[in-house]
Amino acid sequence: MTTLVSLPVLLPLLAAALSLVARRSPAAQRLLGVLVLTAIAAVAAVLLVHVDEQGPVVLQLGGHAPPFGITLIADRLSALLLLVSAVVTLAVLIFSIGQRIVDYGRGTTSTAFLPMYLVLCAGVSMAYLTGDLFNLFVAFEIMLSASYVLITRRSNAPRVRAGMTYVIVSLTSSLLFLTMVALVYAATGTVNMADLAVRVAELPEGVKTVLGLLVVVVFGIKAALVPLHFWLPDSYPTAPAPITAVFAGLLTKVGVYALIRTQALVFDHDASWTLLLVVAVLTMIVGVLGAIAQNDINRLMSFLLVSHIGYMLFGLALFTVIGLTGVILYVVHHIIVQAALFLVSGVVTRHTGTVSLRDMSGVAKAYPLVAVLFAVPALSLAGIPPFSGFVAKIALLRAGAEVATPTAYLVTAGAVLTSLLTLYAVAKIWVGSFWGRECPPHPDPDPTDEVTVGTGATSRPMLLATGGLVVAGVAVAVLAGPLSAISERAANDLLDGGAYREAVLGQGGDR
Amino acid sequence: MTINLTMAVILAALYTAGFYLIMQRSLMRVIIGIVLLGHGANLFLQVAGGPPGVPPFIGMAGLDEMSDPLPQAMALTAIVITFGLLTFLLALAYRSWVLLGHDEVRDDLEDRRIAEAVAEAQEMSAAAETTEAEDPEDAADHEGTSETGESGNEGDTGPGVRR
- How does residue B112 score in pLDDT terms, banded at 50, 70 and 90? confident
**pLDDT score at A90:** 94
Say if A356 is an interface residue toward chain B (CB within 8 Å).
yes
- Check: complex ipTM more than 0.90: no
Which of A178, A229, A358, A444 is the best substitution to test chain B (most B C-beta atoms within 10 A)?
Answer: A178
Start-to-end CA distance of chain A, whole Å, equals 12
Q: How far is CA A67 from the centre of its chain?
A: 29
The CA distances from residue B135 to A19, A273, B142, in Å, are: 71, 59, 11
The percentage of residues in chain A with a pLDDT greater than 70, rounded to a whole number, is 94
Across the interface, whether the CB atoms of B109 and A186 are under 8 A apart is answered: no
Q: How far apart are CA A244 and CA B126, in angstroms?
A: 43
The CA distances from residue A62 to A3, A22, A129, A219, in Å, are: 12, 30, 16, 28
More confident residue, A352 or A482: A482
Instruction: Give tens-digit pLDDT for A244-295.
Output: 999 998 999 999 999 999 988 888 777 778 888 999 999 999 999 999 988 8
Which candidate from B44, B92, B154 shows the least CB-CB separation from A164?
A: B92
Across the interface, whether the CB atoms of B162 and A237 are under 8 A apart is answered: no
Task: Identify all chain B residues contacting A453, using CB atoms and an 8 Å cutoff.
Answer: 163
Across the interface, whether the CB atoms of A238 and B74 are under 8 A apart is answered: no
Amino acid of residue B160: G
Say if B14 is an interface residue toward chain A (CB within 8 Å).
no
Which candidate from B3, B95, B160 shows the least CB-CB separation from A299?
A: B160
CA-based R_g, chain A, Å: 22
Across the interface, whether the CB atoms of B82 and A175 are under 8 A apart is answered: yes
Instruction: Give tens-digit pLDDT for A386-417.
Output: 888 888 899 999 999 988 888 889 999 999 99
Q: What is the dihedral of CA A465, A478, A429, A310, to 10 degrees?
A: -110
Query: DSSP states of A321-334 as a string?
Result: HHHHHHHHHHHHHH
Q: How far apart are CA A457 and CA A363, in angstroms?
A: 14
Q: What is the DSSP letter of A435?
A: S
Tell me the nearest-neighbour CA distance from A174 into chain B, angstroms: 9
CB pairs under 8 A between A and B: 133
Amino acid of residue A218: V
Query: Residue A355: phi, psi to the nearest 5?
Result: -105, 0
Q: How far apart are CA A239 and CA A237, in angstroms?
A: 6
Which candidate from B34, B88, B158 shows the least CB-CB separation from A158?
A: B158
Across the interface, whether the CB atoms of A354 and B27 are under 8 A apart is answered: no
Q: How far apart are CA B32 and CA B22, in angstroms?
A: 8
Amino acid of residue A420: L
Which candidate from A158, A174, A175 shows the least CB-CB separation from B159?
A: A158
Instruction: Give tens-digit pLDDT for A50-92.
Output: 999 888 888 888 877 777 888 899 989 999 999 999 999 999 9
A293 to chain B: closest CA residue: B110
Element of type H or E holding A55? none
Q: How far apart are CA A346 and CA A244, in angstroms?
A: 9
**pLDDT score at A158:** 76
**pLDDT score at A130:** 92
Q: How far apart are CA A408 and CA A414, in angstroms?
A: 10
Tell me the nearest-neighbour CA distance from B134 into chain A, angstroms: 35
| Residue A501: CB atoms within 10 Å | 18
Task: Identify all chain A residues contacting B48, using CB atoms and an 8 Å cutoff.
Answer: 182-183, 185-186
Say if A217 is an interface residue toward chain B (CB within 8 Å).
no
Could you say which residues from 387 to 416 on chain A have a Cβ atom under 8 Å away from some Cβ of chain B? none
Q: How far apart are CA A450 and CA A100, in angstroms?
A: 9
Contact predicate A48/A79, CB 8 Å: yes
Task: Identify all chain B residues contacting A454, using CB atoms and an 8 Å cutoff.
Answer: 163
Q: How far apart are CA A329 and CA A487, in angstroms?
A: 7
Across the interface, whether the CB atoms of A138 and B81 are under 8 A apart is answered: yes
Of A250, A251, A197, residue with least CA distance to A221: A251
- How does residue B96 score in pLDDT terms, banded at 50, 70 and 90? confident
Q: What is the DSSP letter of B47?
A: H
Q: How far apart are CA B11 and CA B37, in angstroms?
A: 9
**pLDDT score at A110:** 66
